[in-house]
Amino acid sequence: MSFGLYSIGFAILIGGLIYAAHLMHMPAHWIAVGAIVLLGVGIVSGVKATRQKDSAE
């Protein structure tokens, strides 16, 4: 699984959640906070899932 594919999937997820929050009339500043937090979680989990293991020398 490549990091790019993981990032695209997470971006689609964040976009859907932003749209749902907008439809529920949440304040824009809370939508932005949620998007930033999810972006950070996505980057950390994407790097963790796609990084190559170090060789034990």
How far, in whole angstroms, is CA 41 from its chain's centroid?
6
- What is the pLDDT, as a whole number, of residue 2? 84
- What is the pLDDT, as a whole number, of residue 57? 64
Which residues, at least 6 apart from 14, have a Cβ–Cβ distance to it below 8 Å? 35, 38, 39, 42
Cα distance between residue 34 and residue 48, in whole Å: 21
Predicted confidence (pLDDT) per residue in 3-50, tens digit:
888 889 999 999 999 999 999 999 999 999 999 999 999 999 888 888
- Type of residue at 48: K
| Neighbouring C-beta atoms of residue 48, cutoff 10 Å | 8
pTM of the model: 0.78
Residue, of 52 and 7, whose pLDDT is higher:
7
- What is the pLDDT, as a whole number, of residue 50? 81
